[in-house]
């Protein structure tokens, strides 16, 4: 996937930034392919982060003999119409025009999107036509809506599937609602379940791993289920039911050509990924023609997606559309 085309062969040079809580990754992209990459640890102060992003973009393109036409920035926070609402891991606590803040250091057209949206654009590049709903599961649950290769963000949060309501009487969510999908199934929730089984001594495999001082994750729960642990299997099976309920809502609202499950936790060769597909096949609306696809982990997807977004926005601005 690292070399997948994202712009139909267009050879305009664009820069892509994946601005995360630990690392800042930058790439130069031409013809839909990564031609150069760099990575640095994220500085603590926001002012230093602006300088670092600009230095990395200008540095990576200086070796190619031509400047980037535009910059796409995917960052881990809420982005609405170019304004970053909150991104606590980066230091943003209120509405910030990040492109304007970067401009003194980086005098290039800069287009922002959420990091999950960037990843989704990169993932969905292999399906350039129709509507693609990308559903991701990491610590939380997210996603994006892609139509004919272009991000459909709404006002910024379209496709944030972690906040599909599954249980109106469910646990409180930081978004202000109750019973959101990611409060019932997510990497964090599955990790908590693994640790609870270990602490209660209800899973020999998980308890043994916990005694070594290891911090248990969702993958450990899947290992336990694969090892024959009935309690771990029951938790994962119920979680798969919940996730497929969320997928029914996606189909009812978007009726997309496809739903793409992205990330290692949802891979087709995992216990959980197989359970999700099984329950989806059993419970999908009988009229739904939506296809289900799995795409594994790919760290370059976010860079390719940010580059695609920047190129599309830049091209539209140049044509006046």
Residues 134 and 256 in one domain: yes
Which ranges of 2-151 does DSSP label H, i.e. alpha helix? 46-62, 98-102, 115-124
Would you list the DSSP string of 286-313?
A: TT---EEEEE---TTHHHHHHHHHHHHH
Q: pLDDT tens digit string along 229-270? A: 999 999 999 999 999 999 999 999 999 999 999 988 998 889
In percent, how much of the chain has pLDDT > 90?
74
Is residue 186 situated within a structural domain?
Answer: yes
Nearest Cα residue to 194 out of 237, 226, 227, 235: 235
Q: Which domain holds residue 92?
A: 14-123+299-319
Residue 198 has pLDDT above 50, yes or no: yes
Q: pLDDT tens digit string along 138-156? A: 888 999 999 999 999 888 8
Q: pLDDT tens digit string along 160-195? A: 999 999 999 999 998 889 999 999 999 999 999 999
Residues 279 and 133 in one domain: yes
Residues 140 and 288 in one domain: yes
Residues 315 and 252 in one domain: no
Number of domains in the chain: 2
Residues 140 and 249 in one domain: yes
Residue 309 has pLDDT above 60, yes or no: yes
pLDDT at 173: 92
Alpha carbons 167 and 310: distance in angstroms, whole number? 37
Residues 132 and 164 in one domain: yes
Residues 155 and 251 in one domain: yes
Mean of pLDDT over the chain: 90
Residue 321 has pLDDT above 80, yes or no: no
Between residues 181 and 11, the one the model is more confident about: 181
Is residue 281 situated within a structural domain?
Answer: yes
Residue 9 has pLDDT above 50, yes or no: no
Residues 290 and 306 in one domain: no
Residue 5 has pLDDT above 70, yes or no: no
User: What tokens does 286 get?
Assistant: 């009988």
In percent, how much of the chain has pLDDT > 70?
96
Alpha carbons 85 and 94: distance in angstroms, whole number? 5
Residue 10 has pLDDT above 70, yes or no: no
User: What tokens does 123 get?
Assistant: 């993932």
pLDDT at 1: 35
Determine the 3-state secondary structure of 163 from DSSP. helix
Residues 65 and 153 in one domain: no
The predicted model gives 297-308 an average pLDDT of 90
pLDDT at 67: 87
Q: pLDDT tens digit string along 51-110? A: 999 999 999 988 888 889 999 999 987 888 888 877 766 877 778 888 999 999 999 999
The predicted model gives 201-222 an average pLDDT of 94
Residues 276 and 306 in one domain: no
Residues 104 and 35 in one domain: yes
pLDDT at 80: 82
Confidence of residue 38 (pLDDT cuts 50, 70, 90): very high
User: What tokens does 113 get?
Assistant: 């999107």
């Amino acid at each position: 996937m690292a070399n997948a085309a994202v712009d139909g062969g267009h050879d305009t040079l664009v820069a892509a930034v994946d601005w995360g809580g630990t690392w800042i990754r930058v790439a130069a992209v031409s013809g839909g392919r990564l031609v150069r990459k760099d990575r640095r640890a994220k500085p603590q102060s926001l002012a230093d982060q602006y300088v670092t992003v600009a230095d990395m973009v200008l540095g990576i393109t200086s070796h190619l003999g031509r400047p980037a036409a535009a910059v796409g920035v995917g960052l881990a926070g809420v982005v609405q119409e170019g304004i970053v609402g909150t991104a606590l891991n980066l230091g943003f606590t209120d509405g910030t025009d990040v492109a304007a803040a970067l401009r003194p250091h980086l005098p290039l057209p800069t287009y922002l999107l959420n990091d999950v949206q960037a990843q989704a654009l990169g993932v969905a590049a292999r399906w350039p036509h129709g509507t693609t709903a990308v559903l991701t599961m990491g610590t939380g649950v997210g996603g994006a809506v892609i139509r004919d290769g272009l991000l459909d963000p709404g006002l910024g949060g379209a496709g944030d599937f972690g906040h599909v309501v599954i249980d109106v009487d469910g646990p409180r969510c930081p978004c202000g609602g109750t019973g959101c999908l990611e409060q019932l199934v997510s990497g964090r929730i599955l990790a908590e379940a693994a640790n609870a089984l270990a602490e209660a001594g209800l899973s020999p495999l998980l308890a043994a791993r916990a005694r070594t001082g290891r911090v248990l994750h969702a993958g450990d729960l899947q290992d336990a289920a694969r090892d024959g642990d009935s309690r771990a299997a029951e938790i994962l099976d119920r979680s798969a039911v919940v996730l497929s309920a969320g997928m029914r809502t996606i189909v009812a609202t978007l009726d997309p050509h496809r739903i793409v499950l992205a990330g290692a936790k949802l891979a087709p060769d995992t216990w959980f990924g197989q359970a999700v597909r099984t329950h989806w096949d059993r419970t999908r609306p009988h009229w739904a023609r939506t296809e289900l696809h799995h795409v594994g982990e790919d760290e370059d997807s976010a860079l390719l997606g940010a580059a695609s977004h920047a190129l599309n926005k830049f091209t539209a601005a140049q044509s006046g559309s």
